[in-house]
Structure 1
């Protein structure tokens, strides 16, 4: 950063922007501001969603304040928790030995010595931390009222797992009147969602239902209700996976501060040690170290669903586990990477080849990249990368996710919508089996926060361009998937809310030959329209009435001859036309009234030139002309000040690239 304070840097940043007169998007401005921060502040704000300069400045100030106030954690006294006698045998980890007792003849799962070990967790992982937490929870002294568990300096070290074990153990002990688990995720205090989680677990009726007051007033009522309910109760509150936390954040949730209660309630917080305000915490515990080798081996075997009885296989698998950092998430993902072995085929040669490949990749890449590279197809990789765009969403809606995959073109080459959906379900199952996604509540999935950073998987700018962001598909009830039948057509059910997304699937690029002119008359609030593999030659006249449309995808419509009735769609942000050999030209004024267009895809079409109105698209970021074999020239595009990616691969007729392209940062 090079300046005396964050405020100085922010002032200089603003001053430079004024003098340079930069033409950049909000996201580009946020990225430029982040790049000038110190390394610690860059790390602290890396996973925080910020959509404008004001938000990233505020996040940086919060993180800066925490770094100033941060005191190194005090190591808790090394007193041992009372446990039943356990068997302790010197362990020599040779091939074929049990990792529970070191003896030959059985696996750790069936080890009689291991079965006698008494701990809070079945497989013994994280025993010491959990035992320490339990002692604190049982302590009734006034000074022991708030406890922060500072964990996970690196993601995947098992803090959530540990906290859940603590919660399960304490529930059985009946130490508390109320137990509250809050999944904060990667967001910094989405107050509404956290309040609703607390209300649900306390079985309180939501006061937001049928409430005509504004959202702020509703939250105040919720806080009051929570406070009054917990004021005279002894509670255990676990806030899992927090990025930024201050002690006064409890007041924001309506949770009475434990030290002001007559009863000794407890609060456990899991998160990064640099992002949590530890003042007042009576215990700061760390899970930064990996699992013990025997526990890592047991976990690897369990998740891989094989026990490597062959000495050669055991040698390779053991080497893989020994050489990794042995964080729980790493062990699980490396085991999931063996998912290339299908159908119960436990051929030793095939398994050995897969293990050797994983070891070789692990010598070069981090474990996330290894799990990604072991995905056997481009479709799987594309579908997984799309999931990483769910940064702000706790849950991934299954119907919305499969719909987005179809619209993006990741699931292609199928004859009907039903087969496309089936293929999507197969891909989902594969990603879940490899532990890259996990099942959550009904019809929803989750992705671990540390897997969402696309920089782990891709290194080239602009190679992961997507058409539609996940928030457009969050409400399954507003998504319509239609296999078009010319005889029955399409009619909207009066029992369902009006759709926001419509996917029309044709028949091999031949049927239907045309849509009724009135098709879109009653669907004027549509935000996403995708027409795939239809035989239409043009769009119906009612299309011009869909004024709220943001994304239009026309793919595989092999008979499409002209693009009409879309010139006035001023809110359109994405226009994708691909796979039509009959579209040879575009109206010259096509883009004149599309000021918000950010992505334009004209791949695999027969157009020879681009319309002059293209120069009016000052917000255009992605221009994809891949495979336009007859495109013979590009217009001057200097006015496209926001352009990030220009893809002209396989444009065989394009003989000359203007010099300005080499000068710009496209």
Structure 2
């Protein structure tokens, strides 16, 4: 059994937090005191061969050793720690130390050349010296910097770039600030603002977590990173540029990692910390970020909320939100996967008049507070809020909303919002409800809609209404993408024929049917 634990990059990390991560990894209860969690872990590990890796330890791990009784001689099982900090190596339990040496000058230069390619290397006599000196023969620096030069869209002024570097320090406390300072050249070499802001925005999500590409690009679109959205702008075109140009470039230069052919991306902890470091330097609040560290017992920093443009509490384990906040500058609020969030105060969003992105995915809320102050909101994610009920009139103030995801909720109506471009809903019963006195079908109101996803939950009702509903959707002149998911294949042939004829008439760019066995494509 291999148990890999990424230790939070914070000096305040306690043994309890590490034990909880180990418990999560081997799927045992993480609640309780340290000795209770340790006992459960020991019960699972007893008699098993295991390799426990603690990555990024900042202090002596003796406390973990003792609680898990690792200090005794456990046959065929090992514990490995990785660290940049000499203090962590002073543990009485460490039996062997392995120091990773720097590359030789020739090895470092070869690595740089192999990545960049000889045909792209500039004819600068000092290139080798600068590369090895400023990167200090460290692969951690050589790889991203070389890739940043390789993927420049226009000829790079290498000499100018080198002149902005400062040599890697021979002496330092931990070298992290110096590391980020040297890696910042890679950020500058991104060139255009779109790539830079998308990189910084991706740091709002936990390191090494899956960030689904379509979702991230949607957020970047509504934030304006990819240009203005007007009547002539197509989401499909902006989504394509966001994925194939912006995110692809960030993958090429190693800032992001690709997953499942760009279905999702990940950001390594090193580059996330770099992005947060860069964001912290913005004095004009352009990309001022607050990321909550849910691992610790420290109180939420209220003042940081008030000055932030982007706030992330993704996967937070807190059971409350800061109160009495004036968040007039806030543009993004990410609260998804916060399983302890069951209620939001009625007037909580009242001071968030500039909020553009709000994500409540997977929370336990049953109702929404007043949304009347969110007049600039453009992307709203409520999917996975299984207990949530909304009435149509609650969302009517969201007149600028472009992206709305209400799948897997108790919501069963088509929102009559004229600005909608992307809508994802669950089909529970009839979709004929609307929130005003008009006799028009609600689908006729969303004429700007370009992308539609329906997850069918009530199959008998769907069978009765499918042709009527499809005809209504066919009236949407801007619709280019349609996805439909069914709990079985029972009505598939009938619906397929309806959509096939509709596709010929509408010239849909994409359409997909899914049935929920293991969400198989048809």
Give the TM-score taking structure 1 as reference length.
0.38
Larger Rg: 1
| Higher RCO, Cα 8 Å, sep 6+ | 1
TM-score where L is the length of structure 2 = 0.48
